[in-house]
Structure 1
Amino acid sequence: MAAITAALIKQVREETGAGMMDVKKALTEAEGDVARAKEIIRAKGIQAAGKREGRKAQEGTIASKVVDANGEQTGYALELNSETDFVAKTPKFVEFTDQVLDYAIAANANSVDDVLGAAAENGTVKEAVEEAAALFGEHVKIGQFAQISGPHVEVYAHKKSVELPPSIVAMIATDEAGAAVAHEAALQISAMGAQWLSREDVPSDIVESERRVATEKSLAEGKPEKIVPKIVEGRLNAFFKETVLLEQSYVKDPSKTVGDLFKEVGGKAVAFARIEVGKGSAE
């Protein structure tokens, strides 16, 4: 049994938003297993009392671009964070973000680490970002980064208001036929925040975790054991409908799914990505 340390309690509190005593009880029941403790908290329906207390809000913007090469398109999106939206919306900050994205594209970056190590005008992107922090008078950092490829890539950049730069960028790669509904799919991704493209893409450990949580929750609700498996499958299907892009109800016509959109044009989605300012890893 792992020791229930203050660091473990802090980690689970930050990731679930549950209170300290609830977290401590869950960790004790789970014998120090963080993943299991999170499942117990969810199964018991413990609400996020102090969700992500003390975490500093991250402002910034997102630059995006589609590049054609070798008969395919590649979409890139990069988040650059600042401390305030006052800095994030300045032309110089937006211009610098575009410049960093260009460095990432030139390096064919696939991750944030690749971006940081990419060549800049004088040194690396990491060094350029450090210099930018001094220029803007705030902490500046690379947030999230995404790259997807396919015969067609559609990008939708959402702004919360006209005076602010993009706060959400959604990208989807499709085959040629799927390009006909790619824009609608990108709008869906921006609005509904799917996590996976298809049911098959959901990692098996996550599916099993959802199954355990649904089972424990059903039993805790006093449901008869003989009907619990059917209830669990229903809850799993609801989970897929919420988190899987092709199974989500199409926001403009809930009578069909996003998958139906692609079937109607005889096309398919290949990959997608969504970046929202401030939603990446905590510092």
Structure 2
Amino acid sequence: MTPRLPALLSTMLLLAGCATSPAPVAVATPPAPSQGSLYATTWTYGSAEAVALGHQAYAALTGYVTARLPALQGSAPFESALVTGTDASGQPQRAPCTAATRARPAVVLDIDETALLNTGAQYHAALGHPYDEAEWAQWLDDRAARPIAVPGAVAAMAALRRLGVTPIWISNATNARQAVVAEALAVAGLGAAAPLDTLYLRGDVAPGSSKQPRRLKAAETYCIVAMVGDQAGDFTDFIDGAKRPLPDRRGAADGAFAALWGQGWFMLPNPVYGAWNTPEATLDTAIPPALRWQPK
């Protein structure tokens, strides 16, 4: 029996729709962040405690520099905050300021998570996106329009400049992004930065990520009274530059270099990323067997 026309048309349209409709496309989603990395990110960029530590570090920096400046006017030798090596017993050797540089006191600072927060980029990373150099360059361009200064940094830079102290920025952002890095600092209220004078980026002085060649270059014309950073490499390569085991790095920071923290070196918190986690830290490397505890 021949079906009626409306029924036949309905069947044909249904079959045509099934034949031409595209198959569902699977949308790739980034892996969920681990609870540990999520805690580190939310604490660093969202907590009141992180704000408090920013203000605390920068207030301590300003107080230390203010107290040290009168010594620059005297005739006694003046040791800078720049460590150039270690002696036979492993103690750090600090570079003396010359007669010429004593007239130009400066503070050397890292930028990322030290002076400017990468809140937007770290939100993206916390969703499970691995680091990508091209994406990072795009973020630096975007950040320049609306940078977020670390709490306490703007007031501290203004106070240092009133004292005649020059902020010098040393960052591992590539020098291809020189203009936007300087723009971000200025827009955030941290002041102007002049390339190869008060701003040194990766590739400016020597290849590689070590900041020591750039610190040495700055010390040729400035007396480095203090340094500020969020990683050991912002101060010296002797703590984790050789990618030593985590306990050895902790031992160095608590041993030979212990006297410098708060006395020329000022550390800000950054549990989100950094050389401290290369190779990736684990409970076994962070907590030795003798210190582990479980309830009986």
Q: Same fold (TM over 0.5)?
A: no
Larger strand percent: 1
Superposition TM-score, scaled by structure 2 size: 0.20
The structure whose Rg is larger is 2
